[in-house]
Amino acid sequence: MKTAHLLALPGLIGLLLLAAALPTPAQQATAPGPETSSMMRIKRTTVLVHDLERSIAFYTQVMGLELFDVEYEYNTDPDSYGYPLFNIPQGARKRMAIFNTSDEQRGFAIEEVLDFDWQVQQNPRTAVALFETDDIRGLEQRLKAGGYTVWKPTPGEAYDTRFVEMGFLDPDGHLLAAFQYFGD
C-alpha cells in the first residue's frame, strides 16, 4: 500500500467514527444543543509541505498571505503532537511556518516534513482549503505566471450571491480554491 494511502486511512477512519456518532435527522430534531457554547469556527488549516522556503514564497508572493512566524530549527521531539496528528514517523524532521490571513491571525500554516517518502493524494483529491479574495483575476495571473495548475475561473450564484471561484494546486499538489463575491 502506498504511503499516501496509509496517510489517508486515519482520517477516513476518524470520519467514519464521527459519522457513526452523529445523531440521525430524527434525533437532531429533538436533541438539545451544546450545553456550553454554540461557537465554532476554523482557527487554522495546516498542510504538509516538502520544501518550507518554496512554500513560504508561494503563500506570501502568490497567495498574498502575511508570514507570522517560522520555525528555523527542525523539531524531532518525540512528544510533539504533530507526529500522531499527521501520522508521520517519530523522528522525521519537521518545522512550521504560520501565516496571517486578512481576518485571522495565525489562520493558515504549513509544516515541512522530511526523512520519509510521502505524497499528496491526487485521485481523488480529498480536501480543499477555500480562500476568499477581492482580486481573483490578479491571483489567477500570479498562479499562471508561476506555472501552477489552475482550473478556469467559473462564475456561480447561490443564496442570491454572485461569485467567481477558481481551483488550483500549490507547489506540493494540495488542492486550493479561491472565490470572489460580486455585488449586483
Q: What integer pLDDT is reported at residue 25 of this predicted model?
A: 55
| Whole-number pLDDT of residue 15 | 40
| pLDDT value at residue 42 | 86
User: CA-CA distance, 108 to 130, in Å (whole number)?
Assistant: 11
What pLDDT, in 10s, does the model give residues 17-47?
A: 444 555 555 555 555 555 777 888 888 999 9
Where does 119-184 sit in CATH, by number?
A: 3.30.720.110
H, E, C per residue of 39-84: CCCCCCEEEEECCHHHHHHHHHHHCCCEEEEECCCCECCCCCCHHH
CB-based contacts of 171, cutoff 8 Å, min separation 6: 49, 50, 51, 54, 55, 58, 148
Phi-psi region of 84 (alpha: psi -120 to 50; beta: other; left: phi over 0): alpha
Q: Are 80 and 17 in contact (CB under 8 A)?
A: no
DSSP 156: E
pLDDT at 40: 87
* Beta bridge mates, 45: 108
Instruction: Give 62-72 pLDDT, tens digit per residue.
Output: 999 999 999 99
Domain boundaries, the chain: 43-116, 119-184
Superfamily for the 43-116 domain: 2,3-Dihydroxybiphenyl 1,2-Dioxygenase, domain 1 (3.10.180.10)
Query: How far apart, in whole angstroms, are the C-alpha atoms of residue 51 and residue 98?
Result: 14
Name the stretches of the chain with pLDDT < 70.
1-34, 184
pTM: 0.78
- pLDDT score recorded for residue 24: 56
Task: Please determine whether the domains at 43-116 and 119-184 fall in the same fold group of CATH.
Answer: no
